[in-house]
A and B are shown apart, each in its own frame.
Chain A
């Protein structure tokens, strides 16, 4: 239906020649198929073009004209990035080699010699217009489809994120936490990375997109707790040494779970999630677990998640402890009671706490 409508609306041809007789010849040749707009020189043509850019299918252009000649018009046409958008044909009595070179270099599609033979000119002009039309419709289709794919992609990402969050919240609830720990952790991770990038842009080179990916991956940091028994996970008191050893395995178990998800290895989040699961209990001085990594051996994202995790655990109520006030929690982190952290990270942490009223977000 749409194609029929389009065919019934005549497209326009812009005929540019200072001579009335020459224009009449071109008008006579094309008036059955096109709506013809006439201009007497390049300047007039340019003015018309800027108003009717979208309805003009092709330009038939003379070279020698007063005010603005064909070549000057082509220069202006190119400056406005219209070359390749609307096809231009030079219609000239002067097909000297020099002129033809210059015309083609300025982007004309074809050069037609006067006197024209209407049948040939129609064929030449129409086939180029058809080519441009096909190219335009193809690129519109591609743009449309690209938009659809991006929409679907966005949908899938949202769904992915929702599934990850649901699963992580379920695990969290099982260990008697409020269910919003992962959300706060993800937020704090994002803020810390943004701050770190600002403080030391030379060392911390992460893009906005990577920060979002890390913040999403952070949600999965404790996924391994699903493999820890309720008796240990929900034990109200202090864990025995043996129980603690089992508790520590949630880092490695988390990685095992992630590696079992089909096709997940190809996902951008996987690289971050795997690393964060395994290393969010490592400490700057090598005093953490499971691998006892030290300093920069620990990726910056795992370092960020570990400080965020500690801070949020301290300020929240857990089965084995009451919630500490923010100030107390900060003191405990700075004094090393929860293990050593990267000095840069502590600095960023301090700034973030200043900028965001963290207590109010709870």
Chain B
């Protein structure tokens, strides 16, 4: 897949995102390819397993920022929803009903898969 195809599949606003990397498509693509190595999703998983709401808020927040910069807006929105839920004191219900977290993980996996297909 080329960059346009990946962007379309992931609903990335390509122009705005490339603009954030000095208008350089190659540079943007390089950082997009680095995303699967980013540790914030792993940290988020660990935080859920350990029911550490502080770590959960922090990792979801970081994930949100990185996704936003790369133009991964769907995943950024899901991460943002996690942050809000924790802030509203709903961490416990997050651990019980894992709907939001599942969506988050599913979108993350989809993003990573498409990125690895990027030529």
A interface list, Cβ under 8 A from B: 18-22, 24-25, 28-29, 31-32, 62, 64, 92-94, 96, 114-119
Q: For the complex, what is the distance from the CA of A353 to the CA of B7, rounded to whole Å?
A: 96
CB of B105 to closest CB in A, whole Å: 19
Q: Is the CB of B34 within 8 A of A21?
A: yes
Binary contact track B70-91/A, C-beta < 8 Å → 1, others 0: 1100001000100100010000
A-B contact list, 30 entries, CB within 8 Å: A18-B62, A19-B38, A21-B31, A21-B70, A22-B65, A22-B69, A24-B27, A25-B21, A25-B69, A28-B21, A28-B27, A29-B22, A31-B22, A62-B65, A64-B58, A64-B61, A93-B64, A93-B76, A93-B80, A94-B61, A96-B87, A114-B64, A114-B65, A114-B69, A115-B20, A115-B68, A115-B69, A115-B71, A118-B19, A118-B22
Q: Does B108 touch A at the CB level, under 8 Å?
A: no
CB neighbours of A116 from chain B (8 A): 20, 69
CB of B104 to closest CB in A, whole Å: 15
Binary contact track B17-50/A, C-beta < 8 Å → 1, others 0: 1011110100100010011001010000000000
B interface list, Cβ under 8 A from A: 16-17, 19-22, 24, 27, 31, 34-35, 38, 40, 58, 61-62, 64-66, 68-71, 76, 80, 83, 87
Closest residue of chain A to B70, judged by CB?
A21
Q: Is the CB of A94 within 8 A of B19?
A: no
CB of B34 to closest CB in A, whole Å: 7
* Residue in B22, B27, B68, B70 whose CB lies within 8 Å of A93: B68
Q: Is the CB of B34 within 8 A of A29?
A: no
CB neighbours of B71 from chain A (8 A): 115
CB neighbours of B58 from chain A (8 A): 64
CB neighbours of A21 from chain B (8 A): 31, 34-35, 38, 66, 69-70
CB of A330 to closest CB in B, whole Å: 84
Closest residue of chain A to B84, judged by CB?
A96
* Residue in A18, A19, A94, A118 whose CB lies within 8 Å of B20: A118
CB of A181 to closest CB in B, whole Å: 81
CB neighbours of A19 from chain B (8 A): 38, 40, 62, 65-66
* Residue in A24, A92, A117, A119 whose CB lies within 8 Å of B65: A92
CB of B79 to closest CB in A, whole Å: 9
CB of A55 to closest CB in B, whole Å: 23
CB neighbours of A119 from chain B (8 A): 19
CB neighbours of A31 from chain B (8 A): 22
CB of A202 to closest CB in B, whole Å: 63
Q: For the complex, what is the distance from the CA of A352 to the CA of B31, rounded to whole Å?
A: 82
CB of A259 to closest CB in B, whole Å: 76
